[in-house]
Each structure stands twice: as C-alpha cells, then as structure tokens.
Chains A and B, each alone.
Chain A
C-alpha cells in the first residue's frame, strides 16, 4: 500500500522560503503525478499545483505562479514544494496528494507551516 510521508511542521519568518517534502513509500513506480493542496486555519482546501514526477513538468494555480516551485527526485521517490516570499497568510497545512491509479487517491498527513515574526 502506498503511503506519503511528510514532515510534521515548519516555522518560518515573513519573507523566507519553505521547502516541504513528500516521500512515497510502498511502491517503486516513478511515473506519477503529485498535487499540492493547502488549508489555512478554519478554511477549505486550496489546490496549488501539480507535477509529473517522471519528467518534472509542473502546472501551478494562477494565485501561486511565480512564487512556487514543485519538483521531484525519482531516486528517493520524494516530491518537493517550495514557496517563497512567505507572508502570514501562507500559514496553513500543506498536503501532497498522489494520482494513480485514482486522482487524489492517496494523501500525506500534512505539514503545518507557520509564518510568524
């Protein structure tokens, strides 16, 4: 069974960057898509973007374009999401969610990112 493993929490200051990791365990398949979704405190789910781990091609939601970079390392089965120029409004839980065989079929447990001076 596939599991997605994320770090528990990160604390950053305004203006800094955060790079959240998402490691796949339980299979050796290297050709898949990974979504990143965030959830601010008390708010709904917000789609940030998607990356094809096999070829590294990503598409980003308009809101985050220019401030986010998604990447993947097939040798370690790990996906990354880097968000730059952090603001207090970026305080949220950041989830990775994998496609294959079902879109959004498997989710990580989430990484809580707190942006505070």
Chain B
C-alpha cells in the first residue's frame, strides 16, 4: 500500500526555523496537506494544496514542494508550535487517502 515518509522527530530552540519533510512517489501528481496536533487535541489543518494557508493560521507557517517531497516550514518557532505534524495526500488513484507517520516537534 502507498506510504508517505516523515522523519520521526525534530528539536529546536525558539526563534529557529523548522523544516519538516514528507516524501511520497505520488506527490508529483497528488495534492498534499499538513496538520498540527497538540497533545490531547484534534488535528488542525495548517497547509493545504502544498502551499495554501487557512486564514486563521499564522504567517510563519508555509509549505513548498520539490519533486516527490513536500516541506512544512515554520519560520521562528514559538513554544506553542510544539506538536506532532502530519502530512496527508492520496495514492495515485486519488481515491484512497493516507497520512504520514508524523513528526514530533519539540521546542526547547
């Protein structure tokens, strides 16, 4: 079955830039989104269609794509950005959805 690959963890200090990557062969043709999930809470959409940000999401969150890899960038991480981040896309058919394994961002 189709998989999206994420690095498991990342630790940064406040003010640094976080780059979280997600790789999948179908990402050249299928749209991707990013979700933030804080402990004990439901996921929240932070980026959709690779680069689009919902209006309520801070500008420090941005997305990009290069080949088969999408990247979530958080410019100047804040303590409140500490969370698990998941990428999401579909397989080649576009019918079946999949999430990456998640990346735990720790802000020290």
Write the residues of chain A forming the contact surface with B, with a CB cutoff of 8 angstroms: 35, 37, 44-47, 50, 59, 61-62, 95, 97, 102-105, 107-110
B24 to chain A, nearest CB (A): 14
Could you say which residues of chain B place their CB within 8 Å of the CB of A105? 45, 48, 54
Query: In whole angstroms, how far apart are the Cα atoms of A35 and B33 in the complex?
Result: 15
Q: Mark interface residues in B57-91 (1 if CB within 8 Å of A CB, else 0).
A: 00000000000000000000000000010101000
A72 to chain B, nearest CB (A): 18
Query: In whole angstroms, how far apart are the Cα atoms of A110 and B54 in the complex?
Result: 22
B45 to chain A, nearest CB (A): 6
Q: For this complex, into which size category does the number of interface residues on chain B fall?
A: 20 to 34
Q: Would you call A61 and B42 a contact (CB within 8 A)?
A: no
Q: Does B10 contact A (CB under 8 A)?
A: no
Compute the total of residue contacts between A and B using a CB distance below 8 Å: 53
Query: In whole angstroms, how far apart are the Cα atoms of A102 and B49 in the complex?
Result: 9
Could you say which residues of chain B place their CB within 8 Å of the CB of A35? 97
Q: Would you call B42 and A108 a contact (CB within 8 A)?
A: yes
B1 to chain A, nearest CB (A): 7
Contacts A45-B99, A62-B96, A104-B35 aside, 4 further interface pairs with beta carbons under 8 A come to A47-B88, A47-B96, A47-B99, A61-B96
Q: Does B14 contact A (CB under 8 A)?
A: no
Could you say which residues of chain B place their CB within 8 Å of the CB of A62? 1, 96
